[in-house]
Amino acid sequence: MSFRVVFAWQVSKPSRLFTSPLWVQEKEQENMKALMIASLAHDVGHPGLNDAYLKKVRCTLATMYSDPLLEHHHFQTCLLILQDIRCNIFFDLESEDYKQVLDDIKLCILATNLQKYKSQCEKMRHIIETGIDFRKRQVRNSIKALMMMACDLCGSWKRWEEHKNIVWSLYKEYFNQGDKEVSFGIVTPAHMLRTNAESIPRYQTAFLLNVVTPIFELLSKVFPQLKEITKTTQDNLECWKTYK
């Protein structure tokens, strides 16, 4: 079984943590199912290469989709799967409700693009500072987007041994891309060079500190039950700081 398939299942499990009755409004149940489907499908059809590489080599995917191209590819692949009646758990919805579910799936899948984490965090800070009104769709959408990003980062809050194995799997993918870029004479990011493997603890320390922790801390202000995953993430951060 491929790493991406296993990871999709891992991502779908924590999404259940966020289906709190405190904020799920009437008629939102189908949209919460959409969150689960988006979690499972968020990496479907992933080639194990990032947007930058696909653009550099002028891959067909880069000509088919707008930015973020991989997230658009995952969403379109999800739509193809849902066209099969055997796979479509929303087949009995009215057309308007079905359109809303698809919009939610698209919102959630596109939200996994980490290039947008700063803007997503800024939106959430503003929502928290001005008072969270769950009756507003734009508020719920912002929360769902950051929730989905947190689900995509679920490997960060696994216990140390499992977390470390997930990180090794990710870096195998990065190094495979780095090898391709080097062979093509393409400028390669430092963290994707196999020769920099000894710097993984430093890369992970910076990632957990500057990207993951702010996302989890903001969400824990909306969902207090998430404080435990923030603590586990901090434990992993400390392990990377001292990793030999």
Annotated binding site for Zn(2+): 42-43, 152
- In angstroms, rounded to a whole number, what is the distance separating the alpha carbons of residues 224 and 32? 19
Say which residue the tokens 């702010």 belong to.
214
Q: What is the dihedral of CA 47, 51, 55, 59, to 10 degrees?
A: 20
- Residue 75 CB contacts under 8 Å (≥ 6 apart), including other chains: 41, 105, 106, 109, 110
Whether the CB-CB separation of 220 and 227 falls below 8 Å is answered with yes
- In angstroms, rounded to a whole number, what is the distance separating the alpha carbons of residues 54 and 60? 8
* Residue positions forming the annotated binding site: 42-43, 152
Counts for the chain of helices (H) and strands (E), in that order: 12, 0
- Residue 92 CB contacts under 8 Å (≥ 6 apart), including other chains: none
- In angstroms, rounded to a whole number, what is the distance separating the alpha carbons of residues 180 and 235? 34
3-state secondary structure at position 102 = helix
